């Protein structure tokens, strides 16, 4: 049990350090390099795509294999596209900028 507490603490501190590093670029530099910002944005996008797949799409595919007569990839793709269209429409309706 003690090993898991240390692992959780290490993961928490590591996450905090990465967040602090990202914030330091904004705090310590008045005009950060555009290439660095593009790299950071691309990296964050990749992390979010991976998190979306492993936390949402993969379980949806597994669940669709169990309960649906349609191909599992079709169910997950349809749900993903529906969610994307919903967010796009929500942004168009409620965006005031």
Q: Domain range for residue 81? A: 33-97
Q: Are residues 25 and 39 in the same domain?
A: no
Give pTM, 2 decimals.
Answer: 0.52
Per-residue pLDDT of the chain (97 residues; tens, 9 = 90+): 689 999 999 999 999 998 898 788 778 777 778 888 899 889 989 999 899 888 888 998 999 999 989 999 899 889 889 999 999 999 999 987 6
61: which residues sit within 8 A by CB, 6+ positions away? 72, 73, 75, 76
Q: Are residues 74 and 95 in the same domain?
A: yes
- For the chain, what is the domain count? 2
Q: Are residues 64 and 41 in the same domain?
A: yes
79: which residues sit within 8 A by CB, 6+ positions away? 60
| Residue 15 CA to its chain's centroid (Å) | 14
Residue 2 token pair: 């003690």
Distance CA 81, CA 10 (A): 37
Q: Are residues 57 and 76 in the same domain?
A: yes
Q: Are residues 94 and 47 in the same domain?
A: yes
């Amino acid at each position: 049990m003690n090993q898991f507490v240390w692992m959780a603490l290490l993961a928490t501190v590591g996450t905090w350090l990465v967040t602090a590093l990202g914030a330091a670029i904004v705090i310590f530099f008045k005009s950060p390099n555009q290439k660095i910002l593009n790299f950071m944005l691309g990296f964050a996008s990749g992390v979010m795509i991976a998190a979306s797949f492993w936390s949402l799409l993969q379980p949806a595919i597994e669940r669709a294999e169990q309960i649906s007569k349609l191909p599992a990839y079709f169910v997950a793709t349809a749900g993903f596209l529906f969610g994307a269209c919903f967010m796009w429409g929500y942004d168009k309706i409620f965006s005031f900028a």
